[in-house]
Structure 1
Amino acid sequence: MTRKRRLGGILMKEYRNCTRAQRQWIVEAAKEQGLGVTSENGNLNYTLSKVMDGQTGWEHMLINVPLYRDITEFFGRAKATYSATISISDYPHANGLDLFMSRQDILDIAKLRHWYPGLELLARRIFVNRPQTHYTIPLIARGAAHIKEAGGTVAVGGHGEIFGAGGLWDMQALATGMSPRQVLEAATIDGARFMGLGDDLGTIEAGKMADLAVFEANPLETIDNVERVRLVIKGGVVYDAFTLDQLWPETVPYGFKPWRTIGDMSGRDR
């Protein structure tokens, strides 16, 4: 933990250590270095014990639905952070990724066509088309909302299956049980605080980094409007949200992409 801290670590992940004593040792060592500890969800009792022992949050969904008040109040009062990553799993019921990929062919998503390596995008088109009734996503999202309302926090998360879409899908999944404002907080300030970056990111305040997204429509009306991002501002530099060409303070094209996209492959036999 000392070495991790010296390297600039803020939040450490404990990943399925076998015994409770081992997990407690990790928490004690992290606290000595001023580090937060997140973890991997296993089952409800497993995650309850981790939070009891001082871990600050966990990734992946609690499959026990619905969550009752004794559970949501416990996590809320512990100020734990729940990153459900609903977009990639709805185990044991159905894979959340299948739901979103069945709604829209990823080859029809313009940004993915423009940015994703073409062969990798083609390889990721496989999904299982399931009935809507196979998914418990709204119940999982509502459980997350109850934890937040009890004093905990919820963070948007992804898993890397479809970079650029996973975060959006996780927000849309959470919106089936949370208000747009709650989802936006999960995607911004709650996630920043969870990672120990709340003093630098997550809200528009004097002294924080000028990292912003400018939308063409209000995401407080519907979370789907987060797709309509027009500009990205990073460190005070303004970029076109689609091409990432720099627009201000200077005009600078993004430049060459060292990989072939679907657009580059169109019309070619090989």
Structure 2
Amino acid sequence: MGKLFGTDGVRGVYEKELTLDLAYGLGQAGASVLGRNAHRPKIVIGMDTRESGNALEQALARGIVAVGGEAVLVGVLPTPAIAVITREIQADAGVVISASHNPFQFNGIKFFDGLGFKLPDAVEDDIETIVLEKQAVELKEGGRISQLEKPEDLYLNHIKQAVKSDFSGLKVVMDCANGAAYAIAPAFFRSLGADVVVIGDQPDGKNINAGCGSTHLQPLQHRVVDEKADIGIAFDGDADRCLAVDNVG
């Protein structure tokens, strides 16, 4: 691995290790590598609920546009949703702005390929080399920023095709970690008939993973017992993993 990309993208404390200049450079370098041979890449950008997400999103998008790419913004959605949307709209890559289970001071930038999988190491190395060595890239006109309408529908439809179940009669307590799942996860379970009680669904930019979610199960355990629920589910900040407890917590 190089000096920027770890096992799960580029991460660090916002405005220290992970700056807006670095985000711009990653957007520019990523689009340049993916846009070789005169191709104009389309790159999906999603994020979790950290207060630094919007600024990093705009920096990434400006970098993509500077080299002639299209940045497709989808807003706050779980990491797996970005992977699915990238594939569904036939984008060249996807980017998630998140630091997963870490506190709000941290953030990260993770790339997916056009099929929604992690970029090959060789491609990450090419992007990293451009950024670290400050290599010049070809600036191109024609880039743009677009917004995908109702991107969550693409992900919800994908899940519903895999989960052909009726949750009627099931009472679920859900801890969304004040993160990326705070809206979409309860909506999905309710659409299948479940009675859903939600905690950790009031993100304010700073409370992601703070005493809640999959790294802090006690609030969920207590609420499951209090509500006489059948099951409890706790997500982490970007909702790419969850833990579950039974009806006795």
**More strand per residue:** 2
Tell me which structure has the larger Cα radius of gyration. Answer: 1
Greater RCO, 1 or 2 (C-alpha within 8 Å, sep 6+)? 2
> Do the structures match in fold with TM over 0.5?
no
| Structure with more of its chain in helix, by fraction | 1
Q: State the TM bucket, normalised to the shorter chain.
A: under 0.3
TM-score by length of 1: 0.24
* TM-score (norm. length: structure 2): 0.26
